[in-house]
C-alpha cells in the first residue's frame, strides 16, 4: 500500500455527544445519554471501514457527527485536516459536496413530494453540476447502477410508489450521484435481497477504484462486513472497544464483546436455536454511566481490576489492532512473553 | 382448516406511467400456529401482499382477482368498519416503514397505550399502561424510553417498539415485514426467539418477510420465494434451503454472504430485474435464467409439486426444475 493510502481522510479527537434528558420531579442531577463518548479514530484515504455494534450503541450518531449533520458536545472532527465545525462559505459547500450520508431509514431519507428524478438530481442542482441534459443523464446512469432499471420507469415515481428496497437504492443513488470522496453509509443495504445487495456493494467497490471513495460502512451484518471492509471498528455504548483489520477481528477477536458478537452470527443450513429474551438483553443506554468499563456488567472475564479502574483506553496491540480492555492486555502480555 | 388462505390473488398499481403488475395469481395458505417466511427480490411484491391482506393499499391499487380468506371470511368482502375490527386485534403488522408507523408528535408510550385503548375499549387506561410496560419488557426496551419521542430512539429501538405495538392486542396473526433490519445478530436472535415462544404458546401465526435467509432458517417453518410478483417456490424450510428447485431460489441462495473463509466475493444473479410495467409473458425469470428454453419464453409455468419431494408440499413454478 502506498503512503497516501494511509493518510486519514477523517479524524476524530475525543469526540463526544451527550443528549440531555428532561428533568423529572425529585431529580437532583441532570441526566444525559452518552451516545458518543470520547471517540478518537481515523478513517484512511480509500479504505472501507466497517462500524459494528449493538442497537443503540451510537453508530448513527457517530456517523452523523462525521458528516456534520449534528454538532458534538465536545471534541472535534477533522476532514482532510480541517476542523469541520469551523468550515464556512465556499469550503463548507465543498465539504457538503464531497461528504455524503446514506441514511439508515429509507423512509425518512427522501422528500415525499419529489419524484425519484428530482430527489436524485437535487444534489447536482445545488452544486450546479452540468446542464439539465447532463444531469438527467447522470441520474439515469446512477439509477441503473443501483439496479433500478429501466431507469425511465422509476424517474417519475414518488417515494411512496416504491418498495422498501427500491427507496433504499434511491437514497444510495442520491448520495453517490456527486461522486463524493467520503460516504457514511448507515445500514445502506439492510432491505436488499442478497443478489441486489451484491450489485450495490460491487458499485461501491467500483467507485473506490475509480474515484478512491472512502467509506464508513455501518452495519450489524458481520458476514457483509467481512467481504466489504478493510478494517472493522466495534462500538459498545458510545465507545470504540476494538478496531483492526477485518480478517483479524473476525478470525481472532480479542475484546470479550467482539467475541460475544461473533458467536451469535447465524449460519445458513444450520438451524440455530433462538432463545428467549433475558432481562440482561434489554437495550442499554449509557445514562450518566459509571466511570468503569462500559462492558463490565456483561463481561464474562471481568475481575477486580475492572471494577476499580476507569474505562480502559483503546490500546494498540501490534500491527493495526487496538483494543480497550484490561484483561486482554494481560492475556496478550502473557502470550508475547511465552 | 387454514387460518389464512390467499387464492389466485392478482394486484395492480395504476400509476401515471401505466399499470404495475405487483402480484400475479398468487395462492398461499397458512395454518393457525404456523410460521411462514416470505423472501425474494427487492420489489417482488412481498409488502404488497401484506398490505392487501390488511386492506391497507392506496386507492390507485386494484385487486384484479382473487380471495383472501381469514378465519373463514373473505376479507375482500368486508366493509371498512368490519375491517377495522380485524386489524390489530386479529391481524397485526410490523411495517417495513417501522419509523413511519410512529407519530413524531407523541411519546412512543402514549401511542402504544392509545392503540390498546382504541382496540380494547373495555380496558382501563391504568391496565393499558401496565400492559405497555409488560410489552416493553418483552422486547427488551427499558421503560424509561416510554416517555421519549420517536426521534430519540435509535433504528433498532424503533423496530422493537413496533414489534411491541404489534403484540399489543394478542392478534391471531402477525405479519412482520423486515422486523429486524436494524438489530444486531444477538438481539435479532433474542427478539425472534421471543416472538417464536409467543407463537408456540398462544398458537399465533406469523408471516415473516425478510431478505435475510439465515434469519428465515431460524424462524420460518415454511418459506415462499417471490420473484417479480410471482410465487416461484414454496416448501418446508429445511428442504427448500437444502435443495432449492427453482433457478431463482438457487441464485438467491448462492448470493447469501457467508462467514466461510473460502468465500471472498459476493455472487450476483446476472441480468436485470423485470420491468413490472411490461413483464415477460412466459416465465418472469426467463430473461435471466441459464436453463431457459423457448417454452419458458412463451408459457408461464404453474406452481406444481416437485417430483422428488416426499409429501407433495415442496412446489415450484419452473419448466426445468433443478
Ligand atoms: N435526538 C436524540 N435525543 C435523545 N437521545 C438520542 C437521540 N438520538 C439518539 N439518541 C440516543 O443515543 C443513543 C445512540 O443512538 P444511535 O441512533 O446512534 O444508535 P445506533 O447505534 O445507530 O443504533 P441502531 O443500530 O439501533 O440504529 C441511543 O441510546 C439513543 O436512544
Ligand atoms: N404504492 C405503490 N404505488 C405504485 N407502485 C408500487 C407501490 N408499492 C409498491 N409498488 C411497486 O410494486 C412492486 C412490489 O412492491 P413491494 O413493496 O410489494 O415489494 P417488496 O417485495 O416488499 O420489496 P422490498 O423487499 O424492496 O421491500 C415494486 O416494483 C414497487 O415498485
Ligand atoms: S476491561 Fe474488564 S470489563 Fe471491560 S471488557 Fe475488559 S475485561 Fe471486560
Ligand atoms: Mg442507527
Ligand atoms: Mg417490502
Q: In this predicted model, what pLDDT tens digit does every residue of A198-213 receive, in sequence order?
A: 999 999 999 999 889 9
Q: What is the pLDDT of residue A338?
A: 43
| A234 Cβ below 6 A of ligand 1 | no
State the ligand closest to the CA atom of B183.
1
B273: nearest CA partner in chain A: A149
Whether residue B149 has pLDDT greater than 90 = yes
Confidence at residue A282, expressed as pLDDT on a 0 to 100 scale? 75
Residues in chain B: 322
Please report the residues numbered 49 through 88 in chain A whose beta carbons come closer than 8 angstroms to any beta carbon of chain B.
52-56, 60
Q: What is the pLDDT of residue A254?
A: 94
Nearest C-alpha in B relative to A169: B42
Is the CB–ligand 1 distance for residue A138 below 6 Å?
A: no
Confidence band, pLDDT 50/70/90 cuts, at residue B310: low
Chain centroid to CA B293: how far? 32
Candidate from B43, B196, B241 with C-beta closest to A268: B241
pLDDT of res. A170? 97
Using DSSP, state whether B40 is helix, strand or coil.
strand
B109-115 mean pLDDT: 93
Instruction: Answer yes or no: is B232 within a domain.
Output: no
pLDDT for res A271: 44
Q: pLDDT class for B298, splitting at 50, 70, 90? A: very high
pLDDT higher than threshold 60 for residue B12: yes
Per-residue pLDDT at A283: 80
Per-residue pLDDT tens for A306-334? Answer: 998 899 999 998 778 999 999 987 666 55
User: Residue B117's CB: how many other CB atoms inside 10 A?
Assistant: 16
- Residue B189 Cα, ligand 5 centroid: separation in angstroms? 21
Domain boundaries, position B318: 243-322
3-state SS track over chain A: CCHHHHCEEEEEEEEEEEEEECCCCCCCCCEEEEEEEEEEEEEECCCEEEEECCCCCCHHHHHHHHCCCCCCCEEEEEECCEEHHHCCHHHHHHHHHHEEEECCCHHHHCCCCCCHHHHHHHHHHHCCCCCHHHHHHHHHHHHHHCCCCCCHHHHCCCHHHCCHHHHHHHHHHHHHCCCCCEEEEECCCCCCCHHHHHHHHHHHHHHHHHHCCEEEEECCCHHHHHHHCCEEEEEECCEEEEEEEHHHHHHCCCCHHHHHHHHCCCCCCCCCCCCCCCHHHCCCCCECCCCCCCCHHHCCCCCHHHHHCCCCCCEECCCCCEECCHHHHHHHHHHHHC
Residues B139 and B252 in one domain: no
Cβ(B37)–Cβ(B222) under 8 Å? Answer: yes
CA distance A260 to A254: 10
Residue whose CA is closest, atom 17 of ligand 2?
A: A163
Question: Among residues B205, B220, B235, which one ends one of the domains?
Answer: B220
Q: Is omega for the bond preceding B208 within 30 degrees of 0, making it cis?
A: no
B43 in contact with A, Cβ within 8 Å? yes
Inspect the interface and report whether the beta carbons of A266 and B217 lie closer than 8 Å: yes
pLDDT tens digits along B228-245: 999 999 999 999 999 999
Residue B173 belongs to some domain of the structure = yes
Same domain, B100 and B177: yes
State whether B184 and A52 contact (CB < 8 Å). yes
Q: Is B141 left (phi over 0), alpha (psi -120 to 50) or beta?
A: beta
Q: Is the ipTM of this complex over 0.90?
A: yes
Which pLDDT score, from 0 to 100, does residue A237 have? 95
Task: Give the residue-averaged pLDDT of B125-154.
Answer: 93
Whether chain B has a CB inside 8 Å of the CB on A201: the answer is yes
Task: Say which CATH number the domain at B109 has.
Answer: 3.40.50.300
Q: How many C-beta atoms lie closer than 10 Å to residue B99's C-beta?
A: 22
Within-domain flag for B289: yes
Residue B155 lies in a domain: yes
Quick one: pLDDT at residue B76?
Answer: 97
Nearest by CB: A164 against B178, B186, B266: B178
Greatest CA span in chain A, whole angstroms?
68
Pocket of ligand 2 (CB under 6 A): A 160-166, 191; B 13, 15, 20, 22, 40, 42-48, 58, 96, 276
Residue B309 binned pLDDT confidence (cut-offs 50, 70, 90)? low
In order of start, what are the domains of chain A with their CATH numbers? 3-337 (3.40.50.300)
The ligand 3 site (C-beta within 6 Å) comprises A 256, 293, 295-296, 299, 301-302, 306, 312, 325-327
Distances (CA, A) of A267 to A247, B185, B256, B267: 18, 11, 10, 17
pLDDT tens-digit map of B198-225: 999 999 999 999 998 888 988 999 999 9
Residue B89 lies in a domain: yes
- Do B84 and B172 reside in the same domain of the chain? yes
Is residue B72 domain-resident?
no
- B-chain residues within 8 Å CB-CB of A260? 186
Give me the pLDDT at residue B102, please. 87
Task: Tell whether B156 lies on the interface with A, counting CB pairs under 8 A.
Answer: yes
Task: Please indicate, yes or no, whether residues B186 and B317 belong to a single structural domain of this protein.
Answer: no
Looking only at the bridges linking them, the beta strands covering A322-323 and A315-316 are antiparallel
Q: Is the dihedral of CA A298, A304, A309, A315 positive or negative?
A: negative
Q: Verify that B215 and B134 share a domain, yes or no.
A: yes
Indicate whether B184 and B140 sit together in one domain.
yes
Separation in Å, CA of A103 to nearest CA in chain B:
11
- SS3 (DSSP) at B26: strand
State whether B53 and B104 are in the same domain.
Answer: yes
Please tell me the predicted confidence (pLDDT) of residue A274. Answer: 59
Kindly report the nearest CA distance between residue A261 and chain B, in angstroms. 7
Residue B177 shares a structural domain with residue B250: no
- Distance CA(B208)–CA(A172), nearest Å, equals 26
Low-confidence ranges of chain A (pLDDT < 50): 1-5, 269-272, 337-338
Q: Are residues B187 and B261 in the same domain?
A: no
For a mutational test of ligand 3's pocket, the pick from A295, A329, A330, i.e. the residue with the most ligand atoms closer than 8 A to its C-beta, is: A295
B23 within 8 A of B229, measured Cβ to Cβ? yes
Q: Are residues B49 and B155 in the same domain?
A: yes
Ligand 1 pocket check for B182: Cβ under 6 Å: yes
Ligand 3 centre from A305 Cα, in Å?
9
- Band (B100; pLDDT cuts 50, 70, 90): confident
Q: Is the pTM of this model over 0.90?
A: yes
Strand, coil or helix: B300: coil
Residue B14 lies in a domain: no
- Of B174, B205, B220, the residue that ends a domain is B220
- Quote the number of domains for chain B: 2
Residue B306 — very low, low, confident or very high, per pLDDT cuts 50/70/90? confident
How far apart are the C-alpha atoms of B248 and A149, rounded to whole Å?
A: 18
Range B192-203 average pLDDT: 91
Residues having C-beta closer than 5 Å to ion ligand 5: A 163-164; B 47, 96
Mutate to test the pocket of ligand 2, among B10, B44, B180 (most ligand atoms within 8 A of CB): B44
Q: Whose CA is nearest to atom 6 of ligand 2?
A: A161
**Whether residues B97 and B192 fall in one domain:** yes
> Is B24 a domain residue?
no
Does the beta carbon of A8 sit less than 6 angstroms from any atom of ligand 1? no
Question: How confident is the model at residue A1, as a pLDDT?
Answer: 42
User: In sequence order, what DSSP letters do the residues of B132-158 get, joined into one string?
Assistant: HHHHHHHTT--GGGGGS-GGGS-HHHH
| Distance between Cα A297 and ligand 3 center (Å) | 9
Spatial CB neighbours of B289, under 8 Å, sequence gap ≥ 6: B247, B248, B283, B296
> Model confidence at B186, in pLDDT bands (50, 70, 90)?
confident
Both B213 and B100 in a single domain? Answer: yes
Amino acid at each position: 500500500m502506498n503512503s497516501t493510502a494511509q493518510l486519514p481522510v477523517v479524524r476524530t479527537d475525543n469526540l463526544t455527544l451527550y443528549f440531555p434528558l428532561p428533568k423529572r420531579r425529585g431529580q437532583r442531577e441532570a441526566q444525559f445519554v452518552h451516545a458518543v463518548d470520547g471517540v478518537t479514530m481515523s478513517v484512511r484515504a480509500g479504505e472501507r471501514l466497517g462500524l459494528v455494534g449493538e442497537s443503540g450503541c451510537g453508530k448513527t450518531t457517530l456517523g452523523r457527527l462525521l458528516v456534520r449533520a449534528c454538532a458534538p458536545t465536545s471534541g472535534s472532527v477533522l476532514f482532510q485536516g480541517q476542523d469541520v465545525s469551523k468550515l464556512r462559505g465556499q469550503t463548507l459547500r465543498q465539504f457538503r459536496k464531497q461528504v455524503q450520508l446514506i441514511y439508515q431509514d429509507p423512509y425518512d431519507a427522501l422528500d415525499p413530494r419529489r419524484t425519484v428524478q428530482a430527489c436524485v438530481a437535487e444534489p447536482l442542482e445545488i452544486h450546479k453540476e452540468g446542464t439539465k441534459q447532463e444531469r438527467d443523464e447522470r441520474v439515469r446512469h446512477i439509477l441503473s447502477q443501483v439496479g433500478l432499471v429501466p431507469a425511465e420507469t422509476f424517474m417519475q415515481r414518488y417515494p411512496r410508489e416504491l418498495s422498501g428496497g427500491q427507496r433504499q437504492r434511491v437514497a444510495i443513488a442520491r448520495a453517490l450521484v456527486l461522486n463524493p470522496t467520503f460516504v457514511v453509509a448507515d445500514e445502506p443495504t439492510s432491505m436488499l435481497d442478497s443478489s441486489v445487495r451484491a450489485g450495490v456493494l460491487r458499485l461501491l467497490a467500483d467507485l473506490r477504484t475509480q474515484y478512491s471513495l472512502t467509506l464508513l460502512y455501518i452495519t450489524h451484518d458481520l458476514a457483509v462486513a467481512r467481504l466489504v471492509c478493510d478494517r472493522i471498528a466495534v462500538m459498545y455504548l458510545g465507545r470504540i472497544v476494538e478496531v483492526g483489520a477485518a480478517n483479524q477481528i473476525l478470525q481472532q477477536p480479542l475484546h470479550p464483546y467482539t467475541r460475544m458478537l461473533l458467536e451469535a452470527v447465524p449460519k445458513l443450513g444450520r438451524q440455530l436455536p433462538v432463545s428467549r429474551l433475558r432481562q440482561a438483553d434489554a437495550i442499554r443506554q449509557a445514562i450518566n454511566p459509571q466511570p468503569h468499563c462500559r462492558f463490565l456488567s456483561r463481561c464474562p472475564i471481568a475481575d477486580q481490576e475492572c471494577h476499580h479502574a476507569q474505562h480502559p483506553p483503546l490500546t494498540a496491540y501490534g500491527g493495526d489492532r487496538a483494543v480497550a480492555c484490561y484483561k486482554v492486555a494481560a492475556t496478550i502480555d502473557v502470550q508475547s512473553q511465552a | 382448516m387454514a387460518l389464512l388462505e390467499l387464492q389466485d390473488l392478482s394486484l395492480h398499481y395504476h400509476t401515471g406511467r401505466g399499470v404495475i403488475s405487483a402480484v400475479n395469481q398468487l395462492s398461499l395458505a397458512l395454518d393457525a400456529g404456523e410460521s411462514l417466511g416470505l423472501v425474494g427480490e427487492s420489489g417482488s411484491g412481498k409488502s404488497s401482499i401484506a398490505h392487501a391482506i390488511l386492506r391497507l393499499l392506496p386507492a390507485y391499487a386494484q385487486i384484479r382477482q382473487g380471495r383472501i380468506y381469514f378465519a373463514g371470511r373473505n376479507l375482500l368482502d368486508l366493509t371498512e368498519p368490519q375491517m377495522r375490527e380485524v386489524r390489530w386485534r386479529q391481524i397485526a403488522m410490523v411495517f417495513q416503514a417501522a419509523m413511519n408507523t410512529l407519530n413524531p408528535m407523541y411519546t412512543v408510550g402514549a401511542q402504544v397505550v392509545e392503540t390498546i385503548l382504541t382496540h380494547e375499549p373495555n380496558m382501563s387506561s391504568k391496565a393499558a399502561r401496565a400492559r405497555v410496560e409488560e410489552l416493553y419488557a418483552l422486547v427488551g426496551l427499558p421503560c424509561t424510553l416510554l416517555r421519549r419521542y420517536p426521534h430519540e430512539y435509535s433504528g433498532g429501538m424503533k423496530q422493537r417498539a413496533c414489534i411491541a405495538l404489534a403484540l399489543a392486542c394478542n392478534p391471531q396473526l402477525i405479519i412482520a415485514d423486515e422486523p429486524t433490519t436494524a438489530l444486531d445478530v444477538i438481539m435479532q436472535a433474542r427478539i425472534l426467539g421471543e416472538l417464536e415462544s409467543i407463537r408456540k404458546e398462544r398458537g399465533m401465526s406469523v408471516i415473516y418477510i425478510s431478505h435475510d435467509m439465515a434469519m428465515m432458517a431460524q424462524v420460518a417453518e415454511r418459506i415462499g420465494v417471490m420473484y417479480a410478483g410471482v410465487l416461484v417456490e414454496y416448501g418446508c424450510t429445511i428442504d427448500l434451503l437444502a435443495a432449492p428447485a427453482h433457478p431463482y431460489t438457487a441464485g438467491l441462495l448462492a448470493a447469501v454472504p457467508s462467514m466461510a473463509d473460502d468465500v471472498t466475493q459476493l455472487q450476483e444473479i446476472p441480468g436485470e430485474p423485470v420491468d413490472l410495467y411490461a413483464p415477460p409473458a412466459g416465465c418472469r425469470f426467463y430473461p435471466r435464467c441459464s436453463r431457459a428454453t423457448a417454452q419458458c419464453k412463451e408459457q408461464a409455468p404453474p406452481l406444481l409439486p416437485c417430483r422428488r419431494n416426499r409429501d407433495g408440499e415442496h412446489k415450484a413454478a419452473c419448466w426445468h426444475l433443478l
